[in-house]
């Protein structure tokens, strides 16, 4: 069992930055109760961080400061407020580039709504033009729907074929099978860095080498990786890498796509409209420089500024400390859940290739019922197929319960989860 080691983070101090963690919840939600403490309610235990994380006051303050102090559109005005907004928005791109090790800086960072939009951007702007009959896109069986469905549909339009790297019973990719699949016909490998269901940390650098040996590109879905561990896109040698701000203390509605500059330069835009052009006539148009040619219309200004603040907060904590804390809490949860014979845990055992989330099945009780009983105890977890429906079918289940952890979670909250599971067990006995 995980021991009470020295803690990499001062969690008590961190929790003070998140007022929502002090909320007391319970009972039926009605329009008049949204955001209000429930009399005699229980303090929320938030273990749904793989879906979205809570936001510290510093992030909320940065967004508020923009709206109160220099709210204006970017790249479209000579007045002072527009200049301030433009500088802040551009610096947010630079901040993201530095955070993930992109030496090309802002030219290689496109702001999107989320990881899903980033995947669609590449699939439509690159895939529709480059794929055709005889080409293959290689995914893994643990892909999120944002990858699986997107490339599936692009393949239908282009005549390309989608192939899937097997997931073994231990929750790891079959790398021998990967080497068999990634061959001369492969044009794109799209793989999740960290599985949002199994917690598996995939060897994306090795997969990148396999892809490049065949002159193929690799797209890495980093939605569960960038928030929880140091990521260096150039060390990975990813051609494309995407993640979402809301899973790393940032606001919703903001994500980032990293792309190697020379590839992005050759791609046509995904969306058309204002700000992504340099010249427009009644007959034709020419495109703006990177990254703006991929950011049509009024962009996600406040969200980008909020993401910048979230990165500052994480940098102050230290991403190695974030990784270590998350994995310690997840290991403790894994060990506690392993005490019971009627619980099956999915994914690898704790170790260097497992991240900080735990999906499980309680024998004889549907995951939705488990989550509902958790809610009675003010414990927030996820239940369902987690946008990995084919993976769940492969595992022989329709749904799983998932607890996922972040910088503000504690062992005591894991104990609260275990107590609530015991209540579910007794109710369905």
Catalytic residue annotation: 387
Task: For residue 255, give both structure tokens.
Answer: 């994500």
> Cα dist. 131→6, 20, 186, 311 in Å?
51, 46, 10, 36
> Cα dist. 363→136, 145, 170, 331, 424 in Å?
39, 26, 19, 21, 11
Contacts of 390 (CB under 8 A, 6+ apart): 141, 148
Query: Taking a C-beta distance cutoff of 8 angstroms, is the pair 63, 305 a contact?
Result: yes
Query: Taking a C-beta distance cutoff of 8 angstroms, is the pair 127, 134 a contact?
Result: no
Q: Which residue do the tokens 């938030």 mark?
A: 46
What is the phi/psi pair of residue 252, to 5°? -75, 165
Phi-psi region of 135 (alpha: psi -120 to 50; beta: other; left: phi over 0): beta
Query: Taking a C-beta distance cutoff of 8 angstroms, is the pair 298, 86 a contact?
Result: no
The enclosing H or E element of 152 equals helix 145-158
| Other Cβ atoms within 10 Å of 358 Cβ, number | 32
3-state secondary structure of 398: coil
User: Residue length, the chain?
Assistant: 429
| Cα 133 to the center of its chain, rounded Å | 31
- Planar angle of CA 23, 21, 93, nearest 5 degrees: 130
Euclidean distance between the first and the last CA atom of the chain, given in angstroms as a whole number: 27
What's the Rg (C-alpha) of the chain? 22
Of 366, 429, 357, 356, nearest to 399 (Cα)?
366
3-state secondary structure of 200: strand
Task: For residue 109, give both structure tokens.
Answer: 């960072």
Query: Taking a C-beta distance cutoff of 8 angstroms, is the pair 301, 66 a contact?
Result: yes
Q: Which residue do the tokens 């067990």 mark?
A: 425
Angstrom distance (rounded) from CA 19 to CA 301: 25
């Amino acid at each position: 069992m995980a021991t009470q080691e020295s803690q990499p983070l001062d969690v008590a101090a961190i929790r003070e930055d998140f007022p929502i963690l002090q909320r007391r919840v319970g009972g039926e939600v009605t329009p008049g109760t949204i955001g209000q403490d429930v009399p005699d309610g229980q303090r929320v235990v938030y273990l749904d961080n793989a879906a979205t994380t809570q936001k510290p006051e510093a992030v909320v303050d940065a967004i508020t400061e923009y709206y109160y102090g220099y709210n204006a559109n970017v790249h479209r005005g000579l007045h002072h407020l527009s200049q301030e907004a433009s500088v802040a928005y551009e610096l947010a791109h630079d901040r993201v580039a530095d955070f993930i090790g992109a030496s090309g800086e802002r030219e290689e960072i496109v702001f999107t709504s989320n990881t899903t939009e980033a995947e669609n951007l590449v699939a439509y702007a690159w895939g529709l033009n480059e794929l055709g009959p005889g080409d293959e896109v290689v995914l893994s069986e643990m892909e999120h729907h944002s990858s699986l469905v997107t490339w599936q549909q692009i393949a239908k339009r282009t005549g390309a074929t989608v192939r899937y790297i097997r997931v073994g019973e231990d929750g790891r990719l079959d790398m021998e099978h990967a080497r068999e699949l990634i061959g001369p016909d492969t044009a794109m490998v799209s793989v999740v860095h960290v599985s949002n269901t199994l917690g598996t940390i995939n060897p994306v650098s090795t997969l990148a080498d396999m892809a490049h040996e065949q002159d193929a590109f690799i797209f890495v879905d980093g939605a569960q990786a960038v928030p929880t561990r140091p990521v260096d896109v150039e060390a990975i040698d990813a051609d494309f890498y995407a993640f979402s701000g809301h899973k790393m203390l940032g606001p919703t509605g903001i994500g980032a796509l990293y792309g190697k500059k020379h590839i992005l330069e050759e791609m046509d835009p995904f969306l058309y409209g204002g700000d992504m052009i340099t010249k427009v006539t009644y007959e034709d148009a020419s495109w703006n420089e990177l990254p703006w040619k991929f950011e049509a219309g009024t962009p996600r200004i406040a969200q980008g500024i909020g993401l910048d603040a979230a990165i500052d907060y994480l940098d102050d904590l230290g991403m190695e400390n974030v990784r270590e804390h998350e994995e310690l809490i997840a290991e403790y949860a894994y060990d506690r859940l392993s005490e019971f014979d009627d619980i099956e845990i999915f994914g690898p055992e704790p170790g260097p290739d497992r991240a900080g989330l735990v999906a499980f099945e309680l024998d004889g009780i549907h995951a939705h019922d488990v989550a509902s009983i958790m809610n009675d105890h003010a414990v927030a977890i996820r239940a369902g197929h987690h946008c990995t429906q084919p993976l769940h079918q492969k595992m022989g289940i329709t749904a799983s319960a998932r607890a996922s952890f972040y910088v503000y979670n504690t062992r005591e909250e894991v104990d609260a989860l275990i107590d609530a599971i015991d209540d579910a067990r007794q109710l369905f006995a």
